[in-house]
Structure 1
Amino acid sequence: MADVLPLKSLRDSADLRHLRQIITGLDEGVILVDPDQSILWANDAALGMHGVESVGALGATVDEYRQRFQLRYRNNHRLEDNDYPIERVVSGERFSQVVVEVAVAGEDAPRWVHQVRSLVLTDDQDEPECLVMIIQDVSAQFEAEDRFEQSFNANPAPAVICRLCDLRFVKVNQGFIDMTGHDRQAVLSRTVYDIDVLARAEKRDLAKERLCEGRTIPQMEAELDLPAGGTKLVIVAGQPIDMGDQPCMLFTFADLEPRRKAEGELRQSEERFTRTFSLAPVALAIGTLDGHRLCDVNEAFADLTGYAPAEIVGRPLDEAELWETPALRHAIEAEIEAGVAIRDREVRIRVKDGEVIDCIVSTEPISLGGEACVLWAMRDISTRKASERELVHAIEAVMKDTSWLSRSIMEKLARIRAPQLEPQGVGLDELTPREREVLALICRGLDDKSIARTLDVSGNTVRNHVARIYSKIGVNRRNAAAAWARARGFDGDSIPVPHHDGQFSRETAA
């Protein structure tokens, strides 16, 4: 126990009663200690800060107080007996702003956080007459600081805090460590300008001015240097805060590196599109949906239409009178506005010198610079159409005298003359018997496995037959093959198909 100063007791003095009257209603807790280490009195605030209702519950003496309340520092270290504020008061020590956590004896978790200071009352001879322990309950303040600490550390958004008095970093969270790769201890031993969080900021002068004044730093882009080399594009902002009565600045960051990477990839993609667009051998043009105005054309488009880019870019297609008729223009524009993509549409367009040519047109909706556009692709088929017309004229001339032509040749010439009436490809008589059996089963709805079981052949054999049938008749789907057969009066029912048991079947698939 600490040595006790030879204090004159205030216990039986009228001054004690007057002193009690003065401090009874104070918000601060006040405990009066007698020179013999007994606790003379405590006001209601002090009792409430210890969770008791009477002075006796605090303990009659300093020793009893230590037995009933366990104190520790904020770093969880328990106080030795001589370090208790009440012991230090008794020893005559003057102190202020001692912060301790207070727990009831037998409990592990502290209930309160007290900020304590001492006061020595002296008599007429300037001798200590009464020792006073003055207490403030700062539990709410430290709980708030603990919550902030936990929130700061758990926040995934990168953040650091620096003191304004010396611009030294005092806190850094895991988000900042992960974003930059800095070592935590290395950050906490350095200043804002050692690790420049405002490096290459777009408004660096404004940010430095606000930092010096302790005012809010608005959001701005900056580029942080990384310890491993390279930089990190971020948005940085600063917010003044107080930590333990110390003015500080909280810097928060948003990582813009994914955005920069995406913008770079988008830029490269647009550059590749531009090169492909310019060098494509097919006539290409880009137009807006609003007014069908052309935004760009490639060299092949200029060659096809005869218009130089400067003559047609920026003009609506109807103003350039590119379509052969207004009706055709209205029909195509209506489909574009309805979001319908045109595929290989045969149209006739009017080029710059007034000539009308045959073209195949396709469109595709695209987005350029955030604007909805349409990509036009045109291919000149005038030569092919002229050849087809010449061939039709030749066929018509030959068919005027057909006495020397066979029936098979006549049918083929008729199909060439009117291709829209009969699909291209061979006739049924040019399929092998096995291929006709396979086609018959396709028409009945059987799949490859069922056909293999029916014909008692392997699946690979069936697939080879199907592939040859597709190749001969010019289709690539089962439904199309069945439609081709039925268009020629062949539905498969008329073809007896041998079953693997040796019988013949005309049954259709279930």
Structure 2
Amino acid sequence: MTRYSSSSLPENDGQDQFAKAFHTGPDAMVITDRDTGRFREINTSFTERFGWSREEAIGRTSLQLGIWRNQDDRQRMLDTIAATQRIDGFEVTLLTRSGDERSAHVYGCQIELRGQVCLVLTIRDITRLRAQEQALRDSQERLDLALDSAQLGIWDWHIPSGMLFGSIRAAVLHELPARDFHGPFGEFFACVDEADRRRMRQAYARLTKGPENDYQFTYRAQLGSGEVRYLESRARLYRDTDGQPLRMAGTLLDITEQVLRERSLEASEEKFASLFQGSPDPICVSRVRDGEFIEVNPSFCSTFGWQAEEVIGRSSHQLTFWADHGLRERLFEQLMRDHSLQNVEVQFLTRDEQTITCTVASRLIWVDRQLCILSTFRDVTRRLQSEADLKASQEKFYKAFHSSPDAITITERDSGRYIEVNEGFHRLTGYRPEEVIGQTSVSINIWADPEERLNMIAALKRDGFVHHLEMRGRHRDGTIKTVDVSVEQIELGGLDCLLLTARDTSELRAAEARIQHLAYHDALTDLPNRALLMDRLKQQIALLQRHNLRGALMFLDLDHFKHINDSLGHSVGDAILQMVTARLEASVRQEDTVARLGGDEFVVLLTGIDGSRMETARQVRQLAEKLRDLLAEPMLLDGHRLQITPSIGIALIPDDGATPEDLLKRADIAMYRAKDAGRNTVQLFHASMQKAASERLRLESGLRMAIARREFSLHYQPQIDSRGSRIIGAEALLRWEHPTQGPQSPASFIRVLEDSGLIIEVGHWVIEEACRTCARLLAEGRIAVDEFSLSVNISPRQFRQNDFVERVLESLHKAGLPASLLKLEITEGIVIQQLDDTIARMLRLRQAGVHFAMDDFGTGYSSLTYLKRLPVDSLKIDQSFVRDAPNDSNDAEIVRAIIAMGHSLGLELIAEGVETPEQLALLEEQGCHTYQGYLFSRPVPFDDFVALLPDGKTKRAP
């Protein structure tokens, strides 16, 4: 036992130091009698943590104060001290004066103080530590439960070391032991199919080289049983401070059932589609909710006379399909009650209002979560008519017999001699009734193929009848006709006879052949269409590979062809396409293929070229240049002298692709590169073009995300009146701040917005935002209504929207902005299309107070033509003329002419791109005092623009 007494301590210095350490320590400390537990001394920390003052605690025991939640803990502590003379980190739960529980570690030993055995105890509060540990355990448990419920495994790969940690679920999915995995990366993925591992490495390589960090990959795990498991991994790549890959962490999900289910569904849908489309009986699918048809097969169209596009989206009531709508309602109720109909006889009206009788079978099915009706029809009109004829009286039969447009004959079954023939027989064969009665078909030789006659007799003996057998008949003049033959056995006066009906289907077969031809040819030019082109291209690829030859695919698009259609009409456009077709066919070899894909797009397939890739490229380019020159020769149509130029893209076979799809896509990419290069050019495909196309796709995807994430903003460039150095307006300009790549050049994304159609949504936002900010300037007194205008550029595609005028007026109303403060800048692209409609829209907005400016004036050939008719208020002189005007006499003269024209028409003039005092001086000399450009200020954010407008006075931009 450690013994302490007043005499054993140092003098006052020692006691003072002990007392100071005791009372100022951060942990609660007490001195108690060992046997009674009575407190002899407590420190300040004990009072703060447990709430008992020194006066309340001294002289009382811990049991009296109720400090021990479990009194057995005190006895265990005393037993431990008795055995080891001290305690070190004894964990207990204690109670404060208010009853709160505190977790604590107790440290201490026993001492002898003035002859009395005492305990000196230090109580360290670990309540917060235990709470944090419990929260961590709870969080881990919730994570484990979430992962288990989602059937997700997790993995974490330390890339520099190659070591990977995988959860139990992740290990089991790879058929590893059911425990946490910690080992080499390759061991974890050992069960993965080699091809998938190669693709996985390629995907990882792309990820490390690109800006993205998110990773998603589906691969196959080969199980020991031979089964294949499909796993989907989603992960994120983390990099070190130098941007190098450091680690990847992600999840793992077994999607085997989903993959197998999708494959099974695809196979099922393919089988259904084949049966549906190939069925000889008419089939349709209609919605129960509104009765609208959602699908019909070709037999439905041929039977009832409608084209599929005329039927789909319309109801049977709208088509007047049912002859008896009351019967339809009754059958619908029966179908909904019994869930099916079987062979109900119903009359329907065809497109030309003919009534046909069908047996109908219907059942309820679900399509895209919608309750629908699948109906199958069988046309029994002819059969019923035949039955009715046979049951009719002899007089009616005679009239029907002789008035029928079809050839009808009655012959003795055994001898084949004709008993009766009608007028239709005469029209079909040229033989009159009196010439054939008593004769046989063999004696007058009316069947072109005796083998077909024998087949008909065999079918008649086998089945007792012949229905719709196609045969070839011979007219008495030798003409061969295709006829549809039906034969029934009848009895006349006890004599077994045959009733034969023959219908001339020559024209029908010719029409079917024409339809078949049109399925693979363009209706306007009679050139092969896409389907036939792809078939020929597939054959040529195989042929060229077999004979070690080369070929090429040229993709031609006519430049500005839409302008001709819009201005001169489609009849002129069609005539041009036919002339282009004639020129192309006359310029290629007979073994080559010229095809039209639609619109103004043509493809030329060149085959059988011998030589190296370079030699092939040279020959094909020469031919392409020849075609380009040939197509560019003027055409005279309806008094118009027109010139059409093509943009041509070329893909070499097999160098640029091994499949028709790849070759056509790459020729298309090369064609668009030709358009980007200024049109009327030839471009051969290069791998870099594919990258450019992918980059454009990436940019378009980024723009769609930018709309969703609101990454666009407006900058404002002041417009200055040099006579008083006043800001009289501004142009709102679109800017894009990419979250990872920073500010993007408008030159790189504005065209993509226009081509993709996103400009419609973005353009509407620009108008709304410009109106809102301009209204704010007006409310703050920064601008005056009659001394300021805000200009907004309008794209042609945006202007052509049906609701463009309404949306502009709505934006003004929503912002509370006077219409006179808004100026819309239009370009030649808007003006030259549908001029009358353009003027009508502009006048509606002008009546509301909106102003218009002609942007980039002088750069297009149509501006001068239409200027006097357009309700514009001002002209903007393009910066391409302003830039070199002080040094280039031609540009200076153009600027003078534009200014003079604007003055003569009473229009305001604004010069763009003014960057030097010399440019401004030249403009002022010619009478143009309004300008914008870097000489005064670049386009700046809104707050910076506001700073240029203190009290409405101009301040020079920094």
TM band (smaller chain): 0.3 to 0.5
Give TM-score scaled by structure 2 length: 0.27
Give TM-score scaled by structure 1 length: 0.47
